[in-house]
Amino acid sequence: MQKPNKRLAGQTAIVTGASSGIGEAIAIALGRDGANVVVNYLSHPEVAEEIAQKITADDLCGEAIAIKCDVSKEDQVAAMFKQTVNHFGTLDICVPNAGLQKDAALHEMKLEDWQLVLDVNLTGQFLCAREAIREFLRRGMRPGVSKSLGKIIHTSSVHQIIPWAGHANYAASKGGLVMLMESICQEYAPQKVRCNSIAPGAIKTPINKAAWDTPEALAELNKLIPYKRIGVPEDIGSAAVWLASDESEYVNGTTIFVDGGMTCYPGFTTNG
Ligand code: NAD
């Protein structure tokens, strides 16, 4: 049997929106590499508890706990970080991942749907990154545990660069995330904080079910993917573990696209 990696042993991670899809896969992957994990959720506590128990029960993994928090609410985010530090002692890795879509043609988009997407996808990531940096600075370096003061890994999207008709709120939130992530890097890299993003392409999760749950929809989707398969959450989990580990120590202020080539303009394969 292959020996498991333990690149994150002794470290603690918070993964937001970890009761489904990409967040769940990242939480499990970080746990398998030895990290303690906070499985953040908004609803369905039983699902989050089950994921946390699965990580804890695996002898090869770190310990996991589930914490409820709406990432768009400042007081709830602060409370989640406080509970994490009380339970695990500190925090080393923050993965602001929670996100949602409220799609509409722009001329029909309600202000509340614009605001909700920005509140969760952008402000929620700011609130989590801010609490993480506060804890990294308070605690200081942990020699022998990690070469960095702390790691932040934002879940962005290919729509941080690909415009998306009918989803202007979502694309704007992910576009904003680029400048948030890069500004955090510029500001805190001197203190040895690493801040990067993962930009997934089409990954098979509940958020985009309509795009993959019929053979016709999947065939249409595959036209946008040079690699000709939809991604799975584990594709993102393994990238997140690498970004959290010392193997990527010199990677900072970067977006890693995990998209099967979606950002390589597949429409130009036979045209233009
Ligand atoms: P998902 O719907 O399975 O996961 C999103 C999670 O965020 C859910 O668990 C949901 O409960 C949680 N959430 C929503 N609002 C929240 C709030 N206010 N507070 C806390 N949690 C909240 O979808 P996913 O595909 O796993 O999405 C995860 C991230 O990946 C999102 O940021 C999404 O934009 C991004 N993404 C997904 C894809 C894809 O193809 N699936 C592609 C690019 C980017």
Tokens of 227: 């690699």
Active-site residues, by number, are 170
Range list of β-strands (E), 84-210:
93-95, 150-155, 193-200
For residues 253 and 230, give the distance between their C-alpha atoms in angstroms, rounded to a whole number. Answer: 27
Q: What is the pLDDT of residue 60?
A: 81
**Residue 184: other Cβ atoms inside 10 A:** 24
Is residue 72 in contact with ligand 1, taking CB distance under 6 Å? yes
Residue 12 and residue 89: Cα distance in Å, rounded? Answer: 9
252-258 mean pLDDT = 98
Measured from the Cβ of residue 151, the count of other Cβ atoms closer than 10 Å reads 29
**Separation of CA 171 and ligand 1 centre (Å):** 14
Q: Name the residue of 43, 68, 207, 229 whose CB sits within 8 Å of the most ligand 1 atoms, as the mutation to test its pocket.
A: 207
Per-residue pLDDT tens digits for 11-42: 999 999 999 999 999 999 999 999 999 999 99
Tens-place pLDDT, residues 176-199? 999 999 999 999 999 999 999 999
Q: Which residue has the tokens 């997140």?
A: 240
> What are the structural domains, with CATH classification, of the chain?
12-203+232-262 (3.40.50.720)
What's the CA-to-centroid distance between 239 and ligand 1, angstroms?
A: 17
Is pLDDT of 171 > 90? yes
